[in-house]
Amino acid sequence: MNFDNIILIGNFPSRHNIEAFKETFGIEWPVFNYTEKLNLPIEDLNLPYFFVINSDMKAYNFRVASGVTSLIIENYLLGIENMMTGD
């Protein structure tokens, strides 16, 4: 799979946490730490969320996690991988 168009943005306490996150979920694409808000209405829920941005910079495929578990994150990331590869 070509990961050139995939990044993950999160709020991590340290670089060590980013590396542990990548290792835990087998993430091969870049992960960036962003501590500011993105000013999206979904942020008001105070829950983890995922989304995709298309080439027109429009966000879609929003998913809100009711909690952060390995299974929730893994399932979403697998779904994104399948969407990007057409599987």
Write out pLDDT tens, residues 52-81.
Answer: 888 888 888 787 776 667 777 777 777 777
**For position 3, what pLDDT does the model report?**
53
75 neighbors 63 (Cβ within 8 angstroms): no
Stretch among 15-24, 29-38, 48-57, 68-77 having the lowest mean pLDDT: 68-77
pTM: predicted TM-score of the whole model, two decimal places = 0.59
Q: What is the 3-state secondary structure (H, E, C) of 8-22?
A: EEECCCCHHHHHHHH
